[in-house]
């Protein structure tokens, strides 16, 4: 069975996709840190009553940074 040949356009799309995957891996830690900071900012905006209900989130955010 002969191997399928890809067009230049298909090859370009494949390379573009691979670059996006690699960039996602490279930037994962920075993106995750930004997410945690956003979660913390949102938590700070909650009322004291809501913060009381979600008291466990502080520890969760610390664990996410490990």
Which pLDDT tens digit goes with each residue over 10-19? Answer: 999 999 999 9
Question: What's the mean pLDDT when you consider all of the chain?
Answer: 93
* Reported confidence tier of residue 39, pLDDT bands at 50, 70, 90: very high
Task: Give φ, ψ of 56 to 5 degrees.
Answer: -70, -15
C-alpha count within 13 angstroms, C-beta hemisphere, residue 60: 9
Residue 2 carries which DSSP code?
A: P
d(CA 25, CA 6): 26
pLDDT at position 50 is 97
pLDDT tens digits, 22-38: 999 999 999 999 999 99
């Amino acid at each position: 069975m002969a191997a399928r040949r890809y067009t230049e356009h298909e090859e370009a799309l494949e390379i573009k996709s691979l670059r996006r995957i690699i960039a996602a891996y490279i930037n994962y830690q920075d993106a995750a840190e930004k997410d945690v900071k956003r979660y913390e900012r949102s938590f700070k905006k909650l009322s004291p009553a809501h913060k009381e209900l979600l008291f466990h989130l502080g520890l969760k955010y610390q664990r996410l940074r490990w």
